Amino acid sequence: MYNKEEITNWFMSLQDNICNQLEKADGGKFIEDRWKREGGGGGRTRIIQGDVIEKGGVAFSAVHGKTPEKILKALQLSETDFYATGVSIVMHPLSPMVPIIHMNVRYFEMENGTSWFGGGIDLTPHYIDLSDAQYFHKELKKICDKHHPEYYTKFKAWADDYFYVRHRQETRGVGGIFFDRLSPSKEMSLEQLFHFVQDVGNAFSPIYTYLIHKNKNLPFEEREKEWQLVRRGRYVEFNLVWDKGTKFGLDTQGRTESILMSLPPQANWIYSHQPIEGSKEHTTQKYLRKGINWLDII
């Protein structure tokens, strides 16, 4: 049976392993910012600005203290302390041919004994490459199928709904998987749930380093860079308006710099922007919708 200390230590090792693999793929080095939370706990935020990744963050945190009233109300709980730990990652590449990627794996525990895992991983290409999208989803399905036959279908649909920019009526990218409040049950123990979360976390490096090496040397022009900035703008809109992780971090008096590390170094907003009919940008826009079966897209 795992406890919160063992889970926390594993998340710290996951941060170390991912940073090591990304440094090898990029050639740059992470800088580390250690911080403490006034209400309890702290973390390590690591940022890379390298040859492939224009700005990327791999953040570990373990925070605890009094649960904010807003969260207690949402969970319909009486006053109790909380403990939360996890790793959060966002990579914004320099090239518009390399996709943005996000992953978050986390554990939450209440003083009253309630506990659960949550997380997800999703891919946001500036230009959708069908083979990349198919590869990404096949890798995620392998992980899900190893643990439960319904996980991929359920968590893929959950990601479609979660990573949806409602005010734009488009998905953030090609989706992935998303899950939350996975609590121990008769069907799945805490240990089994943790093994699933570990497999999701360990999949990040091989998936993204493959996509980096495949796409980093593709040529691009100024038009593609302009489109990249527009797509980054949509990414910002989602993270600041809809993302629950951002809201949770700010509600629990988390460290603002670490919470907002997910934002790109530059973004752009063009009034009433519409891609040209038949263009690569227009093709990508058409795929930004829910319910696509990426496994059989080719």
CA angle in degrees (0–180, nearest 5) for 16-19-22 = 150
Q: What is the pLDDT of residues 193-203, one digit of tens each?
A: 999 999 999 99
Answer yes or no: 282 catalytic.
no
Q: Do residues 101 and 123 lie in contact, with contact meaning Cβ atoms separated by under 8 Å?
A: yes
Catalytic residue among 102, 126, 137, 282: 102
Q: Do residues 99 and 232 lie in contact, with contact meaning Cβ atoms separated by under 8 Å?
A: no
- In this structure, what CATH number is given to the domain that contains residue 50? 3.40.1500.10
DSSP string for 266-278: -----TT--PPTT
What integer is the mean pLDDT of 40-67?
Answer: 95
- Answer yes or no: is pLDDT of 72 > 90: no
Give the pLDDT confidence score for residue 11 in this predicted structure.
Answer: 98
Band (pLDDT 50/70/90 cuts) for residue 1 is: low
Q: What is the pLDDT of residues 107-147, one digit of tens each?
A: 999 888 889 999 999 999 999 999 999 999 999 999 999 99
Distance separating alpha carbons of residues 211 and 205, to the nearest angstrom: 10
Residue 267 burial class via C-beta count within 10 angstroms: exposed 0-12, middle 13-18, buried 19 and up: middle
**Hey, is 197 helix, strand or coil?**
helix
What integer is the mean pLDDT of 254-274?
Answer: 92
Closest residue by Cα to residue 179 from 235, 135, 116: 116
Number of domains in the chain: 1
Distance separating alpha carbons of residues 105 and 200, to the nearest angstrom: 8
Q: What is the pLDDT of residues 160-173, one digit of tens each?
A: 999 999 999 999 99
The domain of 136 spans 4-296
Q: What global pTM score does this model have?
A: 0.94
